[in-house]
């Protein structure tokens, strides 16, 4: 009993200590000191959560305190947000209501808590697509008060920091949806530091080995990097001090996740990631009007000392990014022959870059009538919410089109400036200006030159949209648009046309059956669907109504034949079911325990899993399992795009998996290879693969042009280690410059 009392006293001391840390941080900020209401919110939340513990075993109240601390010290918000963060789980987890919060703490805090409660319900729930629906609720609430999303970000960040106590399958789900939704949203809101940490933590749980290796390599190269930086920085610092600048100069290492991303996309090892860090110069500037001039003065100092890379200057000072980011970036050749990126920012620019929109409030003076970029973005979100995709996952993908995009700036014929995502087309602009322009768009004039709808726009283009009343939306337009608004409006218009064609087709079909005395039943429809390779009757009716399929004599004869073998098993290929893996019958298959680690076995060709055809994982890859409706475990690579969608929307169907040691079956893999062409090199490559490593080559395609060759090898291997060994050996062949496993 005594130990239980001692534990309680220790817990209370820890809670008090953590709350004091929160309070001290708040008192050191430049917000008005409303300590009394924060203390009341803490006491209320502490009482409400008394006796409840987190999965890690610590008192639950430590989570709201930690979230409030992130809100205060890492995002820079004030007492209203701190109170809302302390109270954010009270309504959901206890008997108290939003009305109780309003009576005790006022309307504003209650409104934010209510918004947070709306989006917490079912965050780890069991329904398919629950997370996508949740995200929609989050955006609806966000458009009412931006602080809701900022506190939600803090909540997610703390959950990620304490993810270690969760089951592996939960870790994949939470890490997956963090990378899929929250990190891009943090980026779009300008919360750079939080975005980077969310990405790194997600990566740490999805690929623990790769994370550890990259971290170790960053530490090993620390000394060399420091020497290169000091050598580079000295002449710049000397010149800036002579000219009277007050500044701080530092090197910032790329995040583990962004280094890994570069290694994957460029198929290069860690050693070849040259831009491991960027140099940042943060200068003091008392007058905001001089910021731009000072940035270019520093730019001039640097380019007097080092040679400039002409294509890698980014002026985010004259034209800030839509998330508020301002800086001047340039890349110069350092004294050791490496390209080094330099980011020039004032102290204010730096705070906005790290903390996002919340930092704007710190600097805001008086009321501004100007519509901020954030308001414009929120309007876009509202617009999409009013015309949502019917499928929650499609909706999520549509929103993500806007989250991930970087911006270009184009002008209308009248000189109005329009912000669009990179790769936006003339058709995107038409829809951005007005839906009717989009529906009737036939072409565009870019810089007075006639171009098609598919023309990708560049920053600075002047664009005029040309329309025709007879033009109607086309299905193929979906491949020409990148903006969420264009895709949403286009899909809605096509759906309307499609419905008309479906009802027209159904009418034609029924009349055809009636005139030929054929009975209309489900077996008949299934027979036709199988015959034409269609999945749904709506597709059949659409093709008939759209004149893509004619009901003639051959169809009449076919329908009159005896029904044979008309039932066909449809597999959901998008979730990896379409393969020839031998499986035990569904009736024999036991229900899989999602909480246990599932061992992937292969005994005499009978496997207890199926390989996803979208990413073709092999033993040794970081994988997870998706349990389909037949209790089959479908194995995906953790970074596979399809798996990303599954993690975000079908969390309860995920299972943590592990390859059984000693799997002898062969798996297909593709190696990409490139180098300098010479006589006999192909011979050496095939000899290395077949003789030295005894690997079976299924296919080899090599193309040489102007002394350089590129090729791909399709091979059969037992595991990922064999592929790594092969790539290492191939790179030792004279002339081979790169060899890496292809992303499926």
* CATH code for residues 12-206: 1.10.3210.10
Residues with Cβ within 8 Å of residue 231, at least 6 apart in sequence: 334, 335, 336
Beta carbons of 583 and 633 less than 8 angstroms apart: no
Q: Which residue has the higher pLDDT, 490 or 408?
A: 490
In the predicted model, is pLDDT for residue 42 greater than 80? yes
- Picking from 88, 66, 62, 63, the residue whose alpha carbon sits closest to that of residue 147 is 88
Pairing of the two strands 633-637 and 610-611:
parallel
Summarised one tens digit per residue, pLDDT across range 297-347 is 999 999 999 999 888 888 989 888 766 788 999 999 888 887 889 999 999
Residue 666's SS3 state is: coil
Summarised one tens digit per residue, pLDDT across range 203-243 is 999 889 999 999 999 888 888 888 888 999 999 999 999 99
Residue 616's SS3 state is: coil
Confidence of residue 124 (pLDDT cuts 50, 70, 90): very low
Q: Which of 39, 58, 93, 383 is catalytic?
A: 93
Residue-level pLDDT at 126: 39
Residue-level pLDDT at 498: 78
Confidence of residue 1 (pLDDT cuts 50, 70, 90): very low
Confidence of residue 68 (pLDDT cuts 50, 70, 90): very high
Q: Which residue has the higher pLDDT, 267 or 313?
A: 313
667-741: same fold as 12-206? no
Which run of H or E residues covers position 297?
A: helix 291-305
Summarised one tens digit per residue, pLDDT across range 662-712 is 777 778 888 888 888 888 888 888 888 877 667 778 888 888 877 788 888
Calpha distance 22→228 (Å, rounded): 39
Calpha distance 192→325 (Å, rounded): 9
Place of tokens 């583990």: 256
Calpha distance 65→276 (Å, rounded): 35
Average pLDDT, the chain: 80
Tell me the Ramachandran region of residue 51: left when phi exceeds 0, alpha when psi lies from -120 to 50, beta otherwise.
left
Average pLDDT over residues 238-254: 91
For residue 277, what are the CA distances in angstroms to 211, 221, 226, 314, 321? 17, 12, 11, 17, 22
Residue-level pLDDT at 91: 85
Class of the CATH domain delimited by 215-362: alpha beta
Summarised one tens digit per residue, pLDDT across range 146-199 is 788 888 889 999 999 998 888 888 888 888 888 877 888 888 777 888 999 999
Q: How many CB atoms lie within 10 A of CB 306?
A: 18
Tell me the Ramachandran region of residue 366: left when phi exceeds 0, alpha when psi lies from -120 to 50, beta otherwise.
left
* CATH code for residues 667-741: 3.30.70.260
Confidence of residue 296 (pLDDT cuts 50, 70, 90): very high
Q: Which of 11, 21, 58, 92 is catalytic?
A: 92
Known catalytic residue at 93:
yes
Domain ranges (residues) in the chain:
12-206, 215-362, 492-560, 573-659, 667-741
Q: For the chain, how many residues are written? A: 744
Residue 441's SS3 state is: strand
pTM of the full structure: 0.69
Which run of H or E residues covers position 552?
A: none
Poorest-confidence range of 44-53, 88-97, 484-493, 524-533?
524-533
In the predicted model, is pLDDT for residue 575 greater than 50? no
Beta carbons of 122 and 128 less than 8 angstroms apart: no
Q: How many CB atoms lie within 10 A of CB 47?
A: 12
Beta carbons of 101 and 110 less than 8 angstroms apart: yes
Burial class of residue 344 (count of CB atoms within 10 Å of its CB; 0-12, 13-18, 19+)? buried
Calpha distance 311→425 (Å, rounded): 23
Calpha distance 524→567 (Å, rounded): 11
Residue-level pLDDT at 372: 53
Known catalytic residue at 11:
no
């Amino acid at each position: 009993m005594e130990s239980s009392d001692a534990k309680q006293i220790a817990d209370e001391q820890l809670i008090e200590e953590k709350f004091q840390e929160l309070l001290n941080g708040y008192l050191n900020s430049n917000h008005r000191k409303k300590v009394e209401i924060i203390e009341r919110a803490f006491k209320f939340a502490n009482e409400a959560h008394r006796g409840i513990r987190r999965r890690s075993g610590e008192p639950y109240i430590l989570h709201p305190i930690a979230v409030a601390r992130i809100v205060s010290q890492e995002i820079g918000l004030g007492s209203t947000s701190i109170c809302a963060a302390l109270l954010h789980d009270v309504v959901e987890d206890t008997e108290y209501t939003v009305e109780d919060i309003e009576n005790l703490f006022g309307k504003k805090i209650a409104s934010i808590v209510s918004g947070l409660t709306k989006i917490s319900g079912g965050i780890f729930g069991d329904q398919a697509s629950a997370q996508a629906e949740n995200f929609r609720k989050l955006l609806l609430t966000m458009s009412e008060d931006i602080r809701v999303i900022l506190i939600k970000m803090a909540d997610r960040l703390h959950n990620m920091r304490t993810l270690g106590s969760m089951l592996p399958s939960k870790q994949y789900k939470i890490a997956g949806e963090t990378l899929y939704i929250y990190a891009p949203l943090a980026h779009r809101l300008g919360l750079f530091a939080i975005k980077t940490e969310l990405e790194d933590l997600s990566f740490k749980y999805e690929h623990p080995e790769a994370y550890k290796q990259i971290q170790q390599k960053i530490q090993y190269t620390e000394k060399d990097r420091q020497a290169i930086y000091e050598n580079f920085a000295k002449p710049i610092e000397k010149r800036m001090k002579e000219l009277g600048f007050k500044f701080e100069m530092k090197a910032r290492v790329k995040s583990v996740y962004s280094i890994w991303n570069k290694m994957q996309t460029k198929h290069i090892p860690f050693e070849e990631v040259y831009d491991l860090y960027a140099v940042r110069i943060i200068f003091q500037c008392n007058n905001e009007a001089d910021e731009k001039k000072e940035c270019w003065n520093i730019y001039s100092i640097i380019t007097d000392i080092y040679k400039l890379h002409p294509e890698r200057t980014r002026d985010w000072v004259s034209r800030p990014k839509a998330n508020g980011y301002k800086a001047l970036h340039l890349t110069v050749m350092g004294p050791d022959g490496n390209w080094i990126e330099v980011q020039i920012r004032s102290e204010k620019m730096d705070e906005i870059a790290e903390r996002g929109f919340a930092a704007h409030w710190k600097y805001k003076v008086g009321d501004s009538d100007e519509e901020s970029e954030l308001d414009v973005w929120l309007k876009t979100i509202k617009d999409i919410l009013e015309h949502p995709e019917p499928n929650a996952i499609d909706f999520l993908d549509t929103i993500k089109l806007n989250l991930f995009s970087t911006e270009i700036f184009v002008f209308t014929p009248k000189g109005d400036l329009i912000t669009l995502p990179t790769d936006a087309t003339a058709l995107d602009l038409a829809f951005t200006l007005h839906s009717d322009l989009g529906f009737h768009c036939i072409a565009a004039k870019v810089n007075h030159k006639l171009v098609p709808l598919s023309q990708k726009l560049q920053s600075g283009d002047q664009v005029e949209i040309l329309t025709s009343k007879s033009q109607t939306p086309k299905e193929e337009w979906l491949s020409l648009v990148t903006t969420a608004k264009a895709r949403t409006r286009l899909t809605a218009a096509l759906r309307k046309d499609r419905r008309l064609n479906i009802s027209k087709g159904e009418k034609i079909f029924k009349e055809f059956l009636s005139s030929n005395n054929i009975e209309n039943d489900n077996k008949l429809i299934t027979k036709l669907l199988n015959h034409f390779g269609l999945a749904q009757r709506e597709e059949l009716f659409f093709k008939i109504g759209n004149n893509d399929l004619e009901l003639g004599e051959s169809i009449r004869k076919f329908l009159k034949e005896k029904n044979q073998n008309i039932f066909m098993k449809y597999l959901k290929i998008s979730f990896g079911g379409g393969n020839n893996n031998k499986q035990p019958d569904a009736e024999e298959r036991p229900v899989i325990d999602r909480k246990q680690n599932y061992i992937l076995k292969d005994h005499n060709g009978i496997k207890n899993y199926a390989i996803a055809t979208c990413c073709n994982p092999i033993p040794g890859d970081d994988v997870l399992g998706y349990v389909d409706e037949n209790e089959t475990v479908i194995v995906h690579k953790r970074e596979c795009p399809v798996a990303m969608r599954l993690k975000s929307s079908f969390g309860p169907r995920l299972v943590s998996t592990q390859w059984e040691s000693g799997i002898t079956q062969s798996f297909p893999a593709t190696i990409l290879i490139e180098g300098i062409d010479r006589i006999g090199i192909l011979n050496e490559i095939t000899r290395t693969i077949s003789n030295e490593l005894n690997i079976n080559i299924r296919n080899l395609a090599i193309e040489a042009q102007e002394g350089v060759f590129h090729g791909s090898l399709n091979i059969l291997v037992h595991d990922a280690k064999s592929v790594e060994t092969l790539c290492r050996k191939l790179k030792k062949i004279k002339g081979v410059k790169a060899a890496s496993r292809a992303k499926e």
